[in-house]
Amino acid sequence: MSRVRSLLALCALVLTVLVVPGPARADNPIVQTIYTADPAPLVHDGRVYLYTGRDEDGSTYFTMKEWRVWSSADMVNWTDHGSPLNLASFSWASDNAWAGQAVERNGKFYWYVPMKVRATGRMAIGVAVAESPTGPFRDALGRPLADTNEIDPTVFIDDDGQAYLYWGNPNLWYVKLNPDMISFSGSPTKIALTTAGFGSRSGDANRPTLYEEGPWVYKRGGLYYMVFAAKCCSEFIAYSTAPGPLGPWTYRGTVMPTQGSSFTNHPGIVDFAGGSYFFYHNGALPGGGGYTRSVAVEKFSYRSDGTIPTITMTTAGAPQVGTLDPYRRQEAETIATESGVETEALSGGGRSVSFIDNGDWIKVKGVSFGTGSASFTARVASAGSGGRIELRLDSSTGTLAGTCTVPGTGGWQTFTDVTCPAAVSGTHDLYLRFTGGSGSLFNVDRWQFAPAGTTTPPPSTTPPPTGAGCTASFRTTSTWSGGFQAEVTVTAGSGAVNGWRVGWTLASGQSVSQVWNGSLTTSGTGVTVANASYNGGLAPGASTTFGLLATGNPSTPALSCATA
Q: Which helix (H) or strand (E) holds 311?
A: none
Output Rg (C-alpha) for the chain, integer angstroms: 25
What's the CA gap between 35 and 289, in Å, rounded? 10
Going by DSSP bridges, is the β-strand pair 108-117/93-95 parallel, antiparallel, or unpaired? antiparallel
Distances 315 to 52, 271, 285, 337, 512 between C-alpha atoms, Å: 19, 21, 11, 11, 39
Which amino acid would we find at residue 284? A
Distances (CA, A) of 379 to 151, 164, 329, 475, 483: 42, 45, 11, 16, 21
Beginning with the edge strand found earlier in the chain, give each strand of the sheet holding 511-516 in spatial order: 470-480, 483-492, 543-551, 511-516
> Which is nearest to 346 in space by CA: 62, 36, 20, 82?
82
H/E segment holding residue 242: strand 236-242
CB 74 within 8 A of CB 320: yes
Which among 359, 234, 254, 350 has a CA at the least distance from the CA of 310?
A: 254
Q: Is 212 a catalytic residue?
A: yes
The conformation of residue 209, written as its DSSP 8-state character, comes to B
Q: Is 65 exposed, middle or buried (0-12, 13-18, 19+ CB in 10 A)?
A: middle
Buried b (16+ CB within 10 A) or exposed e, 125-154: bbbbbbebbbbbbebbeeebbbebebbbbb
Q: How far apart are CA 45 and CA 299, in angstroms?
A: 20
Rounded to whole angstroms, the Cα distance separating 153 from 563 reads 39
> In sequence order, what DSSP letters do the residues of 33-83 get, joined into one string?
SSEEEEEEEEEETTEEEEEEEEEPTT-SS----EEEEEEESSSSSEEE---
Adjacent-strand bridge partners of 368? 427
What gap in Å lies between CA 401 and CA 390, rounded to an integer? 8
**Under DSSP, is residue 9 helix (H, G, I), strand (E, B) or coil?**
helix
Question: What region, left, alpha or beta, does residue 347 occupy, with left being phi > 0 and alpha being psi -120 to 50 degrees?
Answer: alpha
Question: Which amino acid, residue 456?
Answer: T
Active-site annotation holder among 38, 74, 152, 429: 38
Of 464, 467, 486, give the one whose Cα is nearest residue 554: 486
38 is catalytic: yes
Distance CA 559, CA 436 (A): 42
Helices of type H across 345-457: none
Pairing relationship of beta strands 526-531 and 47-55 according to DSSP bridges: unpaired
Q: Which residue in the list 74, 212, 298, 338 is annotated as catalytic?
A: 212
Q: Which residues are catalytic?
A: 38, 212
